[in-house]
Amino acid sequence: METRKLIFAALAGSLLAFGCNRAESPKEVQKDVADAQQDAAEQTSEAREEVASSYGEGQEQVAENQYDLAVTEAEGTHKVAIEACEATSGSEQEACKARADEELAAAKQRAETLKPQ
């Protein structure tokens, strides 16, 4: 009985692993990208409001909010890119997601220059 459970668990795990790199339908990708864009726009708008409202609070607070805005924008762009990668499959999808991750890391590194010292 335990052997059956172990085999079933291994089979289920392998199916999940292989299913992760399957392409989604164009319609599903389009919806996911639109949802990610909407979410990113809302979060970016909130971060911009924080920057605008902090101008009377001192340069350090403004810089901190500008950093937060840059990170928010980078993360939103990353989410959209990852959703767009779902249109591809296999190694192409992996490469697409890796590029998106690299671009996120680079954007976050650029944002570090905005942080108050």
Residue ranges in the chain whose pLDDT is less than 50: 6, 11, 14-18
- Which structure tokens are listed for 70? 């840059």
* Residue-level pLDDT at 84: 97
**Residue 17 has what pLDDT?**
46
CA–CA separation, 37 vs 57, rounded Å? Answer: 31
Query: Is 0.75 surpassed by the pTM of this model?
Result: yes
- Which are the contacts of 28, defined by CB distance < 8 A and separation ≥ 6? 86
- Name the amino acid, one letter, at 49: E
